[in-house]
Structure formats: C-alpha cells, structure tokens
C-alpha cells in the first residue's frame, strides 16, 4: 500500500529540481517539487516566512498517513491542510465583528429601552471617550504638523464639558445655553494662555464641542424628549406595569429603536455587499468603501426601517418609513466619512489606538476625569429625580449626525407630511 508521509521543516532551504506540471491548481503560495526518481511528489506550502509544511504523496492512489498531527487520506485532503493566512485573518475579523456587534447590540438595546438617566449616563460616558479620542487625533503628529493644537489642559477640559452636555440637556431640556457658554469659556481660555493663541486652536476646539458634544445631545432629546405615547404600538399592551406599562412606549423610544437598528443594518449590509460585490470606489477619503457596498447598505437600511415600522406601527405610512430609512442611511454614511477625513488628516488608521492608557499617569488622569463625569451624572440624577419618558469614535461616527437629523425629521417633518 502506498504511504503518505507528512513532516514539518523549520528554517530549511529547498531547491526545486523541477516543477510538477500536475499540480498547477495549487494555491498561489503553494510550490510543488518533484525530487525523487520514483513517482513520488514533494509538495511544499509556505504558510509563513520561516515555517514550511511539506508532504510526500504517492501517485498510486490510496494513501495512509504516518504523522500523528494530520491524517489526510487523499491528495485533496492534504491540500485542505494548507490554509491561507489571509483567509484565516479575514474569518477571524468577521467572527470578531459579529460577536462584538451582538454584544453591543444587546447591551445598547437594553439601554435604549431603559431610557431616562440610564440612557443619558451611557451617552455621556460614550461621548467622553469619543471626545478624548478626537482631541488626541487633533494633537497627533500628522494633524499637528500643519497647525497648532490646543493646549492639553484645554483638551481635557473640553472632554469633560462634552461629557456633561448630554446630562445638562436631560436636566434642563435644551442645549443652546450650554453650547454657547462652553464655546465662550473655551475661547476665553485659549486667548488668555501664555503662548500666542492661534486660530487653528480655536477652530479645532470649537468644532470638537460641536462634533462630540452638541450633536450627541440630540440622541437624548430624541429618546427622552419626545414623550408623546406611541398609541398604535402593540408591544405597549403587553409591557409590564412595573417597567412603565403602555406609557413607556413613547414616540422617542420607537424612533430611537428604528434609527439605531437602521444604522446597524446599513453598516452590516454595506460591509457584506462591499466585500462580495465591491468594485467601484466610493470616495478617496475612505478607499475601502465602494459604491456597491453603499447601495447594499441603503437597501438594508430602508428594509429594516420599513419592517420595524410595520411591527411597531410607527410611522404609519410607507412613504414616511422609507424617508426615515433613507435619512438614517445618508446621515450615518456622511458621519462615517467625516470621521475618516479626520483620521486621514491625522495620519492614523484607528482612532481608538490613540486613547491614553500606556502609562500610569495617563491612565490615572483618564480615570479621574471619567469618575468626575460619572459623579456629576449621579448627583444630577439624585437631585432632579427620575427623568420622565421623554476603539469609541470609530463606533459612534455613524450616529453623530443621525441623532440631530432624526430628531428634526420626527419633530418638524412628520407633523407636516403626516405620520
């Protein structure tokens, strides 16, 4: 009986005597050798730069394996041992994205349904982390080469201000005074600094307040401010009395669920569609995004928005649900592209890698600032009472513009055109 012998060779140099013509279907990184005078073939597959897996396979048909690591019965089974590292990496990234998406989706869904101060505090913590990443991007070497970044104490103070904005919005019910007051204090701090103030410092800081503080506050206004009950939602009939009963299902809750679900669907369908059919680049800002992926994301976003509108009975018309889905897709796409533009100017690939945490001092400062924000949130919650029903920057970029546009659509557009 013919025998197949598999062995592993490290740091060895092989010199092919001839290339086997019957092995042209091998993978691009697989090299085939014919070295023995008999009809045996020596096949090598290079899995990495310093490790080689090889197999002696008889050409007489049936094979039997002597190695205790792998037991292929045929040449095709032996070929299955050689898996490309890129395929393993892509599969690992996909699994990681799926599991992390499920975990974030389940946790985020519970926070959205809970609403009130739970939702507000979570938004404040997420905004704080996103603001830290933004100001670290501004201070990075790529962006700071063409401008003067704001002082570090101003960046830290702005991160705390950004985290307090959602809390102040929930407490007072509006955000106009908070934003204008914060912008004035930041401008005054920059002008009074010892060094010569620069306009680039003011512009990057004020944009950070708008991008990381003002825009996320609309999610609080959307979820907690629109307290009108969604009377046609059937789920409200079966909602437990201890959890708020039918009155818990407000227009703000339903609109937030549809909006968040539509954004998740848009990102997922765009990723899968671009991976399967992507050929045409969408924009030079983000080379990996394709026109085919964007079209798939649009379809997924609209389908999910219409499906949830049928389930939750809001909005009632098909046209309104479709317009709401299209609005969610456009705002999430341009929010993603805006963050990509900031990262490209900063010369980094992942904004999350810039979060301080590589030193004890930086970790201490980060924790102290975060605890101060949480303490303020808890203090306001205890003194104000329960609020009535009514890698971070990379994950939140699609949501930044969406909250403001969805709130404006629900508040002003739907009453005009009907729900």
Model confidence over 16-63: pLDDT tens digits? 443 444 444 444 444 444 444 444 443 433 344 444 444 444 444 444
Between 152 and 177, name the one with better pLDDT. Answer: 152
pLDDT band at 9 (very low <50, low <70, confident <90, very high): very low
Pairing status of strand 30-33 against strand 51-57 = unpaired
* pTM beyond cutoff 0.75: no
Residue 346's SS3 state is helix
Provide Rg for the chain, Cα atoms: 28
Are 266 and 328 in contact by the 8 Å Cβ rule? The answer is: yes
Mean pLDDT, the chain, whole residue set: 75
**125 pLDDT exceeds 70?**
yes
Helix (H, G, I), strand (E, B) or coil at 145: coil
Backbone angles phi, psi at 91, to 5 degrees: -65, -40
Task: Please count the CA atoms within 13 angstroms of the CA of 102 that sit on its side-chain side.
Answer: 5
Report, as an integer, the average pLDDT of 86-112.
71
Picking from 202, 206, 126, 123, the residue whose alpha carbon sits closest to that of residue 168 is: 123
Give the pLDDT confidence of 134-143 residue by residue, as tens digits. Answer: 999 998 877 7
Tell me: the pLDDT tens digits for 289-342?
999 999 999 999 999 999 999 999 999 899 999 999 999 999 999 999 999 999
pLDDT at 91: 62
How many whole angstroms separate alpha carbon 172 and alpha carbon 196? 37
Give the mean pLDDT of 83-108. 66
Query: What local confidence, expressed as pLDDT, does residue 92 receive?
Result: 65
Position 403 pLDDT exceeds 80: yes
């Amino acid at each position: 009986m013919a025998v197949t012998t598999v062995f592993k060779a490290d740091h060895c140099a092989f010199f092919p005597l001839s290339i086997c013509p019957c092995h042209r279907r091998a993978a691009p990184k697989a090299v085939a050798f014919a070295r023995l005078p008999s009809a045996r073939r020596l096949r090598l597959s290079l899995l990495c730069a310093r490790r080689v897996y090889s197999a002696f396979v008889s050409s007489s048909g049936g094979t039997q394996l002597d190695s205790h690591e792998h037991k292929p019965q045929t040449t095709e089974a032996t070929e299955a041992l050689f898996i490309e590292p890129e395929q393993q990496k892509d599969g690992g990234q996909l699994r990681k994205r799926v599991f992390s998406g499920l975990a974030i989706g389940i946790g985020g869904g519970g926070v959205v349904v809970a609403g009130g101060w739970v939702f507000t505090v979570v938004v404040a913590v997420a905004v704080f982390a996103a603001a830290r990443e933004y100001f670290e991007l501004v201070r990075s070497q790529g962006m700071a080469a063409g401008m003067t970044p704001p002082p570090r104490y101003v960046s830290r103070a702005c991160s705390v201000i950004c985290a307090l904005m959602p809390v102040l919005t929930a407490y007072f019910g509006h955000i106009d005074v908070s934003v204008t007051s914060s912008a004035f204090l930041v401008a005054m701090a920059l002008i009074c600094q010892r060094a010569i103030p620069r306009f680039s410092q003011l512009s990057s800081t004020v944009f950070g307040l708008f991008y990381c503080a003002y825009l996320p506050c609309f999610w609080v206004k959307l979820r907690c401010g629109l307290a009108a009950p969604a009377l046609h939602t059937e789920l409200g009939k079966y909602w437990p009395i201890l959890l708020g009963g039918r009155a818990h299902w407000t227009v703000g809750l339903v609109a937030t669920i549809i909006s968040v679900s539509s954004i998740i669907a848009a990102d997922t369908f765009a990723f899968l569609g671009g991976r399967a059919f992507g050929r045409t680049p969408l924009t030079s800002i983000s080379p990996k995004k394709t026109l085919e992926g964007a079209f798939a994301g649009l379809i997924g976003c609209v389908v999910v928005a219409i499906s949830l509108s049928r389930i939750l009975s809001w909005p009632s018309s098909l046209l309104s649900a479709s317009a709401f889905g299209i609005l969610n897709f456009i705002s999430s796409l341009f929010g993603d592209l805006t963050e990509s533009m900031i990262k490209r100017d900063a010369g980094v690939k992942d904004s999350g890698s810039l979060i301080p945490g590589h030193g004890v001092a930086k970790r201490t400062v980060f924790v102290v600032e975060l605890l101060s924000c949480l303490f303020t949130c808890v203090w306001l919650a205890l003194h104000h009472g329960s609020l009535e029903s009514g890698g971070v920057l990379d994950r939140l970029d699609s949501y930044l513009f969406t909250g403001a546009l969805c709130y404006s659509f629900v508040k002003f557009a739907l009453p005009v055109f009907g729900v």
